[in-house]
Structure 1
Amino acid sequence: MKRNWLVTLLCSVLMMIGLIPMQIVEAAPPKIGTNAVGAALIDVESGRILYSQQGDVPMRIASLTKIMTAIVAIENGNLDDKVKVSKTAFGKEGSSIYLKLGEEMTLHNMLYGLMLRSGNDAATAIAEHVGGSVDGFIYMMNEKAKMLGMEHSNFNNPSGLDENGGNQSSSNDMAKLTAYALKNPTFQEIVSTKIKKVPNPNESWDYTWLNKNKMLGMFDGADGVKTGYTKLAKRCLVSSATRNGQQLAVVTLNDPNDWADHARLLEYGFEYYPLQKLVLKGDAVPGQTWVVGRTVSYPLAEGESTKITKKVAVVNPDSTAYRLGDRGVLQLYMNDRLISTTPLFEPGSTRLNQQDQSVFQFSEPYQGTWVSRYGLLLRMLLQELFSVSGAG
């Protein structure tokens, strides 16, 4: 017994003076839970899902549907177009912005009514205008879901009502969609708005819409996204917040205590998964004469930085891409899983000034999708095709 104590004491002294290296113990983030049936926490820039609770289980999503409705309309419609309210849209059941039959409003303004007040009349009018019909728009919604790798989602209407079987998605899928949508400046501006005044052609006073999302007023840095409720779906919520240049989003499905759960999950993400720069634009690449084209950031828990590895994929010198200035691609891995890429250029290349947009990063939301598995490969194949055919 005495000998064991002396050995322990000796080892402690030797570690203190550096003769025996101290073992670094990684402090894993503490466990956290919610009152939700399904939940997810995602880092918006990287797309990394930081927490998931039954994340791939399809559930009813109520008016969270309108996140998809909004981004499809923004990407496919003209925001200055006048949207006319049809008989189908007029008097639509559930939450409403009380549009009149035949009333016209710009698509941009109607999107505020859709997202701030969850107007089902606005959802129907937008769908008919952008998709040509509600069915046409539903097709566009489901195609967008496929493109984003939302493998556990199906949309049957643009509002989130339980009609036609309602809409289903998983918390992980909704996190993917939200991270994608928040990168659109128009979407981000709309969902972060607390109050909006819009011209009212029927009265002498303007429409005044207060955002139903209480997180905007109760959480520091909150900047979105959408509430939802039906009798079958129960309380659903997507929220987002930005601190120190990092934006996180939370999804909860069927959660009776959603406001509190969202605040706790957002605080958890900011504290235990801060966004860290893995490489900086202009950094030299060891063993090469090239420099990094774009800064890449990624959320990492304590100790995870040691799990990051880097590989260089060299561009074919005979390709069009090489003639345009590309020299290679720096691939970033964590635990042997590709999480991001950034192009490589010669120092002083004019291409460096064209690389200011955020680099697409590969994370959990896109694993197994066309985007993550084949996007880079397709780009390289197209570059080679153009090189052979003489284009460029």
Structure 2
Amino acid sequence: MCRIGRLGVAILGMLGAGLVTARSQDGPPTAPPAIRATSAILVDALNGQVLFEKNADARRPPASTTKILTAILLIENVEPDTLIQADKAVSETEGSSLYMLPGEKIAARELVYALLMRSANDACVAVARHIAGSEAAFAEMMNAKAAEIGATNSHFSNPNGLHAPDHYSTARDLAAIARYAVQLPAFNEAARTRYHTIVRDPRNKDTFLKHRAKWLWHYPGADGIKTGYTVPAGRCFVGSATRNGWRLISVVLNSPDIFGETRALMDYGFAAYEPLSPAETRGYMAQAPVSEGVRGTVAAAPSREIRVVWRKGQKPQVHAVPKWSRVVAPVAAGTAVGELVVTVSDQVVDRVPLIARSDVPRRPSPPPPGPLWPRATACVLALAVFWYGSAHSKNPRLIGRRLAPRV
């Protein structure tokens, strides 16, 4: 074999070895992918456990992934059949649009699809003005909700993600917001829907929507969620996929290939990791301390399944430690009395509310004391008797009279 031939065989051998180490026996990659996005993260949808991250806390313009939070507030604050009316400001909103007419009314449930499938900026403004009266007031609600969710490194100044200097988020925060959103059935339904027709005002034709996330067509188990793009933000995508009941959520910000890199993250997560219910938490039950109750404790159990994720073939140490709240009776069954902190190899991976399994009535109070005046009168009489007796016993005339013999 010539030198060039031997060199070619050697190169092919090294490449093959690299492929073997980077892939599992079934083929998908088990080594972390080389992600070119400026920021990225991959998390378990249930507990938020991080499987991959790159610059996950870097503040970035989120573009239309902002609409995930807008959709949350719409679902939680407006009944589905409520009609939301557009005004002149709505009709003048720039960018992707439903082209709502001033005075046009569309049901809230339809606008959830408009936000997530069409990425309609005008629909976002209509929602904001309907809920809060103005975009500025709605932005305050967005920031409060983000803080409640745990997205504390973000600040939102508008409902649609159009670029603004003080409008930013992070890959980690967007993953937290998405994890919260997928707990809402109305959000899940719209995020995974490929085609939908919005019923419009009689003055406007019904609008046929096709989801902008090609992800839904090209990845097994894909179920959302939201694309985004502005020039400063670059191309962004918050993605979701479910396999065998296990859901992962990914975020890529300013990516040259949002769907290709989302695929790489998902392939890596599903191939390299597995979700398990640790023996340490199965059937977990503990006694929570209760003050002023007929009993001093109440049995408490986790509010949901406890699941941890670890690399296939590994068995890390799992610990579950209860952290109790101050609980004062009466306690109703179903009340949160603390949380179970789950750690894997000394890293906190989940916090699950601990719920009381039974009622604990308040301990009966001692009977109240009677009226004050009888007790005061008794005290005065007792003192008078004591004083009289004492004085009588010290009087010599009385003493002599008592001691004189009778005749």
TM-score by length of 2: 0.71
Q: 1:316 and 1:148 mapped to 2: Cα distance?
A: 23
**How far 1:336 moved relative to its partner?**
3.2
Rate the CA distance shift 1:146–1:202 in 2: closer, same or farther, 3 A: same
2:67–2:119: 8 Å Cα contact kept in structure 1? yes
2:42–2:250: 8 Å Cα contact kept in structure 1? yes
Secondary structure of residue in 2 paired with 1:300: strand
Counterpart of 1:165? 165
**How far 1:205 moved relative to its partner?**
4.9
Select between 259-268 and 193-202 the one with higher mean Cα deviation. Answer: 193-202
1:284–1:290: 8 Å Cα contact kept in structure 2? no
Counterpart of 1:220? 220
Counterpart of 1:142? 143
Rate the CA distance shift 1:104–1:271 in 2: closer, same or farther, 3 A: same
**How far 1:91 moved relative to its partner?**
3.2
Query: Which structure's CA Rg is the greater one?
Result: 2
Secondary structure of residue in 2 paired with 1:116: helix
Counterpart of 1:259? 259
2:80–2:109: 8 Å Cα contact kept in structure 1? yes
Secondary structure of residue in 2 paired with 1:235: strand
Q: How does 1:211-290 map to 2 (within 5 A)?
A: 211-278=211-278, 283=283
In the alignment, structure 1 residue 78 sits paired with structure 2 residue 79: yes
Secondary structure of residue in 1 paired with 2:277: strand
**How far 1:270 moved relative to its partner?**
1.3
Q: 2:212 and 2:229 mapped to 1: Cα distance?
A: 12
**How far 1:32 moved relative to its partner?**
2.2
2:195–2:208: 8 Å Cα contact kept in structure 1? yes
Rate the CA distance shift 1:53–1:198 in 2: closer, same or farther, 3 A: same
Secondary structure of residue in 2 paired with 1:137: helix
Counterpart of 1:209? 209
Q: How does 1:62-101 map to 2 (within 5 A)?
A: 62-101=63-102
**How far 1:312 moved relative to its partner?**
5.1
Counterpart of 2:306? 296
**How far 1:340 moved relative to its partner?**
3.2
Unaligned runs of 5+ in 1: 1-28, 352-382
Q: 2:351 aligns with which of 340, 357, 366?
A: 340
Secondary structure of residue in 2 paired with 1:224: strand
| Counterpart amino acid of residue 190 in structure 2 | I
Q: 2:68 and 2:334 mapped to 1: Cα distance?
A: 38
Q: 2:177 and 2:261 mapped to 1: Cα distance?
A: 20
Secondary structure of residue in 1 paired with 2:278: strand
**How far 1:217 moved relative to its partner?**
0.5
Secondary structure of residue in 2 paired with 1:255: coil
- Say which structure, 1 or 2, has more relative contact order (CA 8 Å, 6+ apart): 1
1:317–1:323: 8 Å Cα contact kept in structure 2? no
**How far 1:333 moved relative to its partner?**
2.3
| Counterpart amino acid of residue 198 in structure 1 | I
Unaligned runs of 5+ in 2: 1-29, 288-297, 366-407
Counterpart of 2:51? 50
Q: How does 1:97-116 map to 2 (within 5 A)?
A: 97-116=98-117
Q: Deviations over 1:94-131 (max 9, x none)?
A: 11112122110011101211110000110100110111
Select between 112-121 and 164-173 the one with higher mean Cα deviation. Answer: 164-173
Rate the CA distance shift 1:222–1:134 in 2: closer, same or farther, 3 A: same
Secondary structure of residue in 2 paired with 1:169: coil
**How far 1:269 moved relative to its partner?**
1.1
RMSD: 3.4
| Counterpart amino acid of residue 82 in structure 1 | L
Q: 2:301 and 2:314 mapped to 1: Cα distance?
A: 22
Rate the CA distance shift 1:205–1:313 in 2: closer, same or farther, 3 A: closer
Select between 249-258 and 331-340 the one with higher mean Cα deviation. Answer: 331-340
Counterpart of 2:23? none
Q: 2:204 and 2:46 mapped to 1: Cα distance?
A: 43
Q: 1:262 and 1:175 mapped to 2: Cα distance?
A: 13
Q: Percent identity?
A: 30
**How far 1:41 moved relative to its partner?**
0.7
Q: 1:246 and 1:121 mapped to 2: Cα distance?
A: 35
Select between 38-47 and 71-80 the one with higher mean Cα deviation. Answer: 71-80
Counterpart of 1:181? 181
1:276–1:299: 8 Å Cα contact kept in structure 2? yes
TM-score by length of 1: 0.74
Q: 1:131 and 1:389 mapped to 2: Cα distance?
A: 47
Counterpart of 2:196? 196
Secondary structure of residue in 2 paired with 1:208: strand
Report how many aligned residue pairs link the two structures.
326
**How far 1:311 moved relative to its partner?**
3.5
